[in-house]
Structure 1
Amino acid sequence: MTYPPHRSGEETGMTDRVFARLKPVELDGLTEEAYLRRRSDDLARAFRTPRSPQRSRRLTMPRLPFLITAATAVAGAAAAVIVVPGLVSGESAPGAPTAAAIPRGSQTPQTVDARSFLLAAAVTAAREPAESGRYWYTRERVTQKATTDEVEYAAEVKSLVEKWEAEKKELKGRPSELETARKELERKIGELKASPPAVPYAVTTAYTQDAWYARDKGDSSRTIGNQDVKITFGSPEDEAKWKKAGSPVLRNDKPSTVSFDHPLPLSIDNPTLTIQNVASLPTDKEGLERRLRSLYGKSSAKDRSDFAGYLPQTSLDLLRAPLTPGTRSALFKVLAEQPGITSQGEVTDVLGRTGVALTSRFTADEGSFELRLTFDKESAKLLEYAITKEGESSPLTRVAYQDTGWVDRLGDRSRD
């Protein structure tokens, strides 16, 4: 099955995606007094640290744009570390000095890993002021590789459906044969989804989407997609192949508005979690983890992944939602216990913003992937996620969050 294009919130909910699991550890030096002195300085300093030469190897794999619904088994890779002055990894080598043992002002190199980032982020998130409004607003810049020849795909689906309609008439009154034909149709459509016709040229589409998700029952939500559409070909030869194929429409470049009144699930796996009720999630680590494990036990994900595979996907959905500061902090703490999360140091998102990247691996029916989440260096807010398939040099999908926040009217933005 190929990854479908990024869709509006009405079509797919918030998202279906991935992260992983580490061991709990206290972050030395992040006492109340120290935090009040430095505010978010520890987090910002750690995020500014360049990537360690030991980690120059890139993991070649990739939420898909709110979209992975297949199995997500996260590989148990060890957390990478980077050298920073001031924070100490929770997994120091035997005999290594602890934060308490290193005098203030010492230039001794110390290390911080993904777990330490997440624990620092938990402290920062807890300090954020609580906010609310009538609509949760998001502005996203979505960049996607075109992987499926939509014209050929649609033609093949149409052919299968037409054949089915003819068989229905021919087999009328013969229920057992009709059921066999129906199952054969399902099998063929399943095969087509698993191996759709690929585009014979390299091309990337990008567009912006605004969304206003209503907080209260009775208010309508709205999305406006296909704004500022840009098409980029891999080479002049790829563009020539596209023209030879009849210059098929790769993305509608007319803004499309969709309004809807029903509650919006955050993901297919968690239909009970919506924009309207995430504010009621527990604000303590233990309570939130119990709730997430309960949701996992009721989700379809339990049939294809363990909790460590389920949690990152759900966490990405939650990080995009209007969580309270307490719940966001608790979520970072739960993530800090998961294995397989690796710090990639500083990266730049598609909007040119610099942040820290945390990656994890997962597998789906389509292969192995890397999920990369990029966080703001000071606020620890999610800037972007990217999915890269193993063996490919560039992401299948990148979704950058240009603006998020509460507003009081449809059409308003959280900031200019």
Structure 2
Amino acid sequence: MTMDELQMIREAYGEPEPPTPRETTEARALLSDGRPRRRARLGRGLRIGLGAVAAGAAVAVAVTVTGTGAPAPPSRPAGQVDLGREAVLAAAAKAEEKGAAQPVGKYWFTDQVSGQSYIVRAATGDYAIVGAHSESFSWTGAKPGMGTALYGREIPSRPLTKQDAALWEKAGAPSKFRVWSNDHYYTYDRSTTEWDSEADARGGGRFVIPGTGREPLTLAEVQRLPEDPAALAEMFFKPSVLKDKERAGPLSRLATPRAKLGIAARLLEGTPLPPGVRAGLMRALAAQPGITAVGAATDPLGRPAVALVADDAPATVDGEFGAPPEERGTFRSRSELLFDKATGELLAEQRVLTEPGGAYRNREPGFVINYWAVRASGWTDSKPEPPAKPPF
């Protein structure tokens, strides 16, 4: 990622701050042509860029992590109902209704968990783990001077599914996992860390909403954002045209289905959008070309969901960066945005396998390659505190 490319992202979406580790990863993905030579990874750094010191150990519990992974639904004859889309639109209506009943509080907070899947090559049988496993927590006061705070910690690596847990136990239940990660071997373990934090007692009252300009918005300005899906699509899914036309090529890739889904994810994950705006954004994304809906899915934390998914794309890993033979090959995957069926709240963003190959040649479609899940978010009148207990 060059500085010119990062500047292009800022100019297109009005990002006023340097990119976080995750944003840099997303930008690389958005600018790629769908044929990356090596697998992207979330890495050990948290979204908020906080360092952490290892302390103690936590017991990891394996849960079933399954995306949808099914091929996109075929075109339907005129008049036939798209049940997946209807389920997503119903969830959007529920989000609008539920949110309208919840008043704005004094503090906005969000608690998120992320992880990357890796394959452990064991003599007793290969199994998948979740590594680069981290949790981030942040809050912002509704008014200036109410403060802001960011927290981050690393949480234990763990077997991905119950089947992987059985193979892990068969291999002797090791506490460390040596895996191929991007372009080198890395060892993850089952340790956890204390929360690390950064705070600004003078902060608060300003919220970064990508696509609305270079300056953060006040809460009143956020509340006045449009609810109309067409207006939201124009605002968030059509980056402004750069004056330098020679750089417009990469910019056009920001209008791909995968890019639009990623933009919606970022908005819904960490910003206090009003319920009508959140519902409108869901409807706007559902109407975009290349975005399909799934009426039944499961998020990385095991919660039932409905999903909006972007068309899948191929990725190829070769030996250019030293990848061993078992990591090489081509696979296909797609991005998914998952919502709670009952409330319409955003649950997670994940990348799932659609066509096995490469490191995932022995995995089934639906295998979760990486994810970013919202553990909890919303408004509260009490100053938020990060949870003491890890999610796993």
Matched residue count: 279
Match of 2:94 among 124, 128, 148: 124
Instruction: Name 2:305's counterpart in structure 1.
Output: 355
Quick one: higher RCO (CA 8 Å, sep 6+), 1 or 2? Answer: 1
* RMSD of equivalent CA atoms: 4.5
Deviation at 1:219, TM superposition (A): 4.0
Residue 241 to residue 413, structure 1, CA distance change in 2 (3 Å):
closer
Residue 272 to residue 244, structure 1, CA distance change in 2 (3 Å):
closer
Instruction: Kindly name which structure, 1 or 2, has the bigger radius of gyration based on alpha carbons.
Output: 1
Q: Percent sequence identity over matched residues?
A: 22
CA distance in 2, matches of 1:308, 1:332: 14
Structural mapping, 1:23-172, within 5 Å: 58-59=70-71, 79=73, 93=77, 111-128=81-98, 129=100, 131-146=103-118
Residue 217 to residue 225, structure 1, CA distance change in 2 (3 Å):
same
User: What amino acid is aligned across from residue 156 of structure 2 in structure 1?
Assistant: V
Check the 8 A contact 1:361/1:370 in 2, yes or no. Answer: yes
Deviation at 1:217, TM superposition (A): 3.6
CA distance in 1, matches of 2:186, 2:285: 45
Instruction: Name 2:192's counterpart in structure 1.
Output: 253
Deviation at 1:126, TM superposition (A): 3.0
Matched, 1:310 2:259: yes
Matched, 1:341 2:291: yes
User: What amino acid is aligned across from residue 262 of structure 2 in structure 1?
Assistant: Q
Deviation at 1:324, TM superposition (A): 0.7
Matched, 1:286 2:230: yes
Residue 379 to residue 126, structure 1, CA distance change in 2 (3 Å):
same
Question: Which segments of 5 or more consecutive residues in structure 1 lack a partner in the other structure?
Answer: 13-55, 60-76, 82-90, 97-109, 149-199
Matched, 1:226 2:198: no
Residue 254 to residue 317, structure 1, CA distance change in 2 (3 Å):
same
Where 2:368 maps in the other structure, the secondary structure is coil
User: What amino acid is aligned across from residue 49 of structure 2 in structure 1?
Assistant: E
Structural mapping, 1:252-271, within 5 Å: 253-261=192-200, 265=208
Instruction: Name 2:59's counterpart in structure 1.
Output: none
Residue 217 to residue 6, structure 1, CA distance change in 2 (3 Å):
farther
CA distance in 2, matches of 1:302, 1:224: 33
Check the 8 A contact 1:137/1:413 in 2, yes or no. Answer: no
CA distance in 2, matches of 1:271, 1:365: 33
CA distance in 1, matches of 2:198, 2:225: 27
Residue 292 to residue 247, structure 1, CA distance change in 2 (3 Å):
closer
User: What amino acid is aligned across from residue 58 of structure 1 in structure 2?
Assistant: A
What's the TM-score once normalised by structure 1's chain length?
Answer: 0.53
Check the 8 A contact 1:203/1:238 in 2, yes or no. Answer: no
What's the TM-score once normalised by structure 2's chain length?
Answer: 0.56
User: What amino acid is aligned across from residue 291 of structure 1 in structure 2?
Assistant: M
User: What amino acid is aligned across from residue 132 of structure 1 in structure 2?
Assistant: V
CA distance in 2, matches of 1:290, 1:378: 28
Check the 8 A contact 1:202/1:238 in 2, yes or no. Answer: no
Q: Once the two structures are superposed, what CA deviation does each residue of 1:67-105 show, in whole Å capped at 9, x if it has no partner?
A: xxxxxxxxxx5x459xxxxxxxxx5x35x6xxxxxxxxx
Check the 8 A contact 1:141/1:402 in 2, yes or no. Answer: yes
